[in-house]
Structure 1
Amino acid sequence: MKEYANASKGKITFKAFTTLDIVLMAMLAAANAVMTVYLSPLNMALNGLGGPIATSTVTGLYMIYGLLACYIIRKPGTAVITYGIGAVVQAFMGSAYGIASCFVAAACYMVVAEAIFAFFRYRKWSFPVMLLAGGALVPIWFFFAARMFGYMKWGTDILLIALAVRILSGMVLCGLLSKLIGDALARSGLLRRYAVKRGVEG
């Protein structure tokens, strides 16, 4: 595939996406849409048990598909495409949180993910980097969600605790889990044609 940018040291290298890349991104986005359907009743149950703080514990699962795609493919633009597809699929399937939330959340996730990995030139995929990325996906969307879903009524203390729990959930259930799943799949031989395989072997 043709490269579109300077590949010298310290520069971000842009590569065209392969058919396999697109298929993987679409599959992860579709899987996320299905998973979201089942997460909705879980969220309701958690809300009944522990309110907004309890529901915040599963936040990372809503974001994992895009970060996992980034970890496996390791090309600029992966988060934009994967989260974009995810928003469209969720909108068509229907969302308990409304169509607008699908696209606003996706926009927040894709911008932050691309910024984090661009900072590291799409070359560093260690546990600390993935934990940072998973946690960083949370705050901007939380800001918009607080206004879209009436979180402001919770009060400042509850908001701050919920934000902290969501960031921790993002780090563990999104960042950490993405790396663990990606590495496991790479070692299994299922991702032989993806960049993650070279990273694991290296």
Structure 2
Amino acid sequence: MKEAGKKKGFSWSAFTTLDIVLMAMLAAANAVLTVYISPVNQALNGIGGPIATSTITGLYMVYGLLACYIIRKPGTAVITFGIGAVVQAFMGTAYGIASCFVAAGCYMVVAETIFAAFRYRKWNLPIMLLVGGAMVPIWFFFAARMFGYMKWGTDILLIALAVRILSGIVLCGLLSKLLGDALSRSGLLRRFAVHRGAEG
């Protein structure tokens, strides 16, 4: 079984204690960040409605993708986004507990699917941008029904979706890559895959 995993290009390595700690830390940091982003989101809504609030969508997802980029093991997105949802639920959220778990489920499925398609070996900028943008649409579909977005009208919905995808590409995909590389260069991630492996 181990040899078969190697032939496919990746190994189903067990997570180390450091991996789990890092995922938990990023999930906790995201929960705190979300508390501070909520007022900003409300302010943007007052200024430019749903389109303006869509500009910061990527920030809500960055912690999970950053964990994936650093750890580079199958299941990282599932665990990190899962922990994030639980922490947010306990801390409280202006968007409702259900939204925490539905959003996390959408993010983890998309991220794991794309990374699995590349055998968890491709971590270059195009892949990170792809994942950052691709995590948006499925959650937007559910959010539109949970939060009453349908009243916006088709034109506004499409523009908001486009802005959210762009935000996911820049504020999640690009930012995760930049943060991961910066932390790796600092030497703080010497025991993680991002420090050892090539981008691919």
TM-score (norm 2): 0.97
Give 4+ residue runs of structure 1 displaced > 2 Å after superposition: 3-12, 199-202
Sequence identity, in percent? Answer: 82
Cα RMSD over matched residues? 1.5
Q: Note the residue ranges of structure 2 that are not aligned, 5 or more in a row.
A: none
Counterparts of 1:4-23 in structure 2, within 5 Å, are 6-23=4-21
* Partner of residue 173, structure 1: 171
Q: Which amino acid aligns with 1:113?
A: A
SS of equivalent to 1:37? helix
Q: Which amino acid aligns with 1:147?
A: R
Counterparts of 1:145-156 in structure 2, within 5 Å, are 145-156=143-154
SS of equivalent to 1:6? helix
* Partner of residue 119, structure 2: 121
Displacement of 1:201 in angstroms is 8.8
Mean Cα deviation higher: 55-64 or 11-20: 11-20
Q: In 1, Cα distance between the equivalents of 2:6 and 2:33? A: 40
Cα 1:200/1:11, change in 2 over 3 Å: closer
Q: Deviations over 1:100-123 (max 9, x none)?
A: 000000000000000010001000
Q: Deviations over 1:163-189 (max 9, x none)?
A: 000000000000000000000000100
SS of equivalent to 2:31? helix
* Partner of residue 37, structure 1: 35
Q: Deviations over 1:79-106 (max 9, x none)?
A: 0000000000000000000000000000
Q: In 2, Cα distance between the equivalents of 1:6 and 1:97? A: 44
Determine which of 62, 65, 70 is the counterpart of 1:64: 62
Kept in 1, the 8 Å contact 2:122–2:199? The answer is no
Q: Choose between structure 1 and 2 for higher RCO, CA contacts under 8 A separated by at least 6 residues.
A: 2
Kept in 2, the 8 Å contact 1:5–1:12? The answer is no
Q: In 2, Cα distance between the equivalents of 1:177 and 1:8? A: 30
Q: In 2, Cα distance between the equivalents of 1:173 and 1:113? A: 15
Displacement of 1:198 in angstroms is 1.3
Q: Which amino acid aligns with 2:32?
A: V
* Partner of residue 76, structure 1: 74
Q: In 1, Cα distance between the equivalents of 2:168 and 2:189? A: 24
TM-score (norm 1): 0.96
Q: In 1, Cα distance between the equivalents of 2:199 and 2:153? A: 49
